[in-house]
């Protein structure tokens, strides 16, 4: 049996393996460089932000999506983006009464596929790149948000819940700067 026949059907899967393992190696390298998990959280968030700034361009180009009319619309677009880029199909839940806050439930997150967090890293937000991406991407379309994890599967919660809160509409596009 030739080897190549074994793996050809598997190319899609490999891509997410490659991503998950690269991300894991990246986080572990950062932890080696810095003893403080908080520092790593911050760095991951900044990386996510930078990725988000660019990823949104790709998203707009591929989906030719119009402006979001309200925050409900934003939630829907985020759902589409998650599906497109990470193969996650998050559900949108827990809307606040004023409709400026919602949660995304991230099941089957490919990032955490082979991950187990040791006890001494309870401060580490392993997936902290995701809120960064959301923040960066939405900033490019003039929406300022904050995003954070309220539940984390890696820390023993039954699911991963990401909270997104609307801050304000950016009236004039400011040049993106580093924090």
**DSSP single-letter state for residue 114:** T
Residue selected from 38, 58, 70, 107 as contacting another protein according to rule CB under 8 A: 58
Task: Please say whether the beta carbons of 163 and 103 come within 8 A.
Answer: yes
Name the residue nearer to another protein (CB basis): 100 or 121.
Answer: 121
Name the residue nearer to another protein (CB basis): 3 or 169.
Answer: 3
Strands (E), the chain: 91-93, 101-105, 143-151, 161-169
Dist CA 131 CA 58 (whole Å):
18
Listed ranges 42-50, 71-79, 154-162, 165-173: which one lies at the site for another protein (CB under 8 A): 42-50
Which single residue is written with the structure tokens 């009236």? 171
Residue selected from 60, 79, 85, 117 as contacting another protein according to rule CB under 8 A: 85
Query: According to the binding rule CB under 8 A, does residue 89 interact with another protein?
Result: no
Name the residue nearer to another protein (CB basis): 18 or 93.
Answer: 18
């Amino acid at each position: 049996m030739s080897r190549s026949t074994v793996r050809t059907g598997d190319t899609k899967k490999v891509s997410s393996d490659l991503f998950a393992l690269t991300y894991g190696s990246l986080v572990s390298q950062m932890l080696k460089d810095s003893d403080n998990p908080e520092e790593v959280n911050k760095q991951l968030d900044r990386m996510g932000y930078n990725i988000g700034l660019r990823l949104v361009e790709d998203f707009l180009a591929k989906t030719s999506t119009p402006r979001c009319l309200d925050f409900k619309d934003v939630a829907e677009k985020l759902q589409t983006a998650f599906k497109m880029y990470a193969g996650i199909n998050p559900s949108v839940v827990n809307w606040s009464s004023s409709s400026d806050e919602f949660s995304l439930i991230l099941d089957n997150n490919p990032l955490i596929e082979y991950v187990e967090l040791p006890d001494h890293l309870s401060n580490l937000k392993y997936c902290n790149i995701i809120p960064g991406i959301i923040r960066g991407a939405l900033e490019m379309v003039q929406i300022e948000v904050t995003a954070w994890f309220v539940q984390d599967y890696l820390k023993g919660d039954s699911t991963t819940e990401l909270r997104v809160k609307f801050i304000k509409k950016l009236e004039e596009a400011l040049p993106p700067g580093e924090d």
